[in-house]
Amino acid sequence: MSFLTVEDLVVRHGSLDVLQSLSLAVERGSFVALLGSSGCGKTTLLRAISGFNPVASGRITLAGRDITTTPPEQRGTAMVFQSYALWPHMTVAQNIGYGLRLRRASRARIAARVEEMLAMLHLPGLGARNVTQLSGGQRQRVALGRALAIDPEMLLLDEPLSNLDAAIRIELRHEIRAVQQRLGITALHVTHDREEAMVIADRLVVLRDGRIAQQGTPQEVYHRPASPFVASFMGADNMVRVTARAVPEGLAVQTAEEVPPSLLTLGEGGAHLAGPVRDGAFDAYFRASAARLLAADEPPAPASLVLPGRVLQASYPGDVWRYTIEAGGRRYLIDDPVVLGPGAATRVAIPAAALHLFAASAAA
């Protein structure tokens, strides 16, 4: 039996089903990231598990207990909020020990636990300081310490890093992961940040419109997206329509009749094909960082899809140039270290292993 089980969960806001018969199983000690765009239902799911959102139908069990209608304070969960939600009139120590005080723990127990949290979260000597005197990163550490101080069975994190500066965000996500592994606690983390989810979690759950679009390890979801939506959300948001013909070696694909076909191998080390091998139209998705711009006389690598095009725009975000390339009536974002100016003719080469192929959509 899974540690946390969500069965056919429906959460309704007015006439809208925000979660639509959603089912999820989380193993004990795992770190799961709920990932998706705004409005997909990830925070609603977290709040339903914590008891802050009422459930229209379905069932939630934690450690074998049905907690569907259990009050939040009796569920064995602890929440870390995006906005810290600290008491501004209290010190760091008082905030961390607040949950223990509500549970009528002894003063000695509270003091010992607070000191343990201060040491674990790199806040030594700050117990007597008012939380309003802390930086954003320090406040979020205090919020995490308050949640962990009560020894919850499950830690719930609702975009706890989104209000922080980039450098602090990177530092804290590694600290949260380290604390989770050290304590062996089960954690559910809501984020819209793909990189954050990949770094911090050992399992991703991608939500769309109140349903699970895909779940799996970060490697599985990144390299083998189950749908065009997941591929695009995981960064493969360039799309080229191709016509394919099944051959013994894989697929012979071309983007237009006047363009010679490219042979794409499939499977391990080749293109990812969602569905059976067949003749017909496919939408091929790829990441900006996966393609290369070829020099005029440079041959493409074997098993690559090649798109002749021209540079529309160029910018330099650092390390590589980011180009907007027009090819075949579509625009693509390509990252490459080569220096080209607007209007330059070029060719985009995408290796087979970087392509995610899905049956062509009429809307594409």
Strand, coil or helix: 142: helix
Q: Are 276 and 359 in contact (CB under 8 A)?
A: no
Closest CA to 157 of 276, 316, 169, 340: 169
Any idea which residue has 């990144």 for tokens?
A: 222
Residue 162: what pLDDT? 87
Per-residue tokens: 160: 């706890």
Pairwise CA distance, residues 211 & 22, whole Å: 6
Residue 358: what pLDDT? 96
Give the chain's end-to-end CA distance (angstroms, integer): 42
Phi-psi sector, 29: left (phi>0), alpha (psi -120 to 50), beta:
left
Tens of pLDDT, residue by residue, the chain (364 residues) = 799 999 999 999 999 999 999 999 999 999 999 999 989 999 999 999 999 999 999 999 999 999 999 999 999 999 998 888 899 999 999 999 999 999 999 999 999 999 999 999 999 999 999 999 999 999 999 999 999 999 999 999 999 988 888 888 998 999 999 999 999 999 999 999 999 999 999 999 999 999 999 999 999 999 999 999 999 999 999 999 999 999 998 999 988 766 778 899 998 889 999 989 999 999 999 999 999 999 878 888 888 999 999 999 999 999 999 999 999 899 999 999 999 999 999 999 999 999 999 999 765 5
Residue 146: what pLDDT? 94
Neighbours of 77 (CB within 10 A): 24
Q: Are 54 and 33 in contact (CB under 8 A)?
A: no
Any idea which residue has 């975009």 for tokens?
A: 159
Residue 85: what pLDDT? 87
Determine whether 351 is exposed, middle or buried from the number of CB atoms within 10 Å of its CB (0-12, 13-18, 19+).
buried
Pairwise CA distance, residues 309 & 56, whole Å: 53
Residue 166: what pLDDT? 87
Pairwise CA distance, residues 296 & 338, whole Å: 12
Per-residue tokens: 35: 């990932």
Pairwise CA distance, residues 36 & 293, whole Å: 31
In 202-237, beta strands by DSSP E: 203-208, 211-216
Pairwise CA distance, residues 178 & 139, whole Å: 18
Pairwise CA distance, residues 327 & 334, whole Å: 12
Q: Are 283 and 364 in contact (CB under 8 A)?
A: yes
DSSP assignment letter at 179 = H
Residue 296: what pLDDT? 77
Q: What is the DSSP string of 247-262?
A: ETTEEEEESSTTSPPE
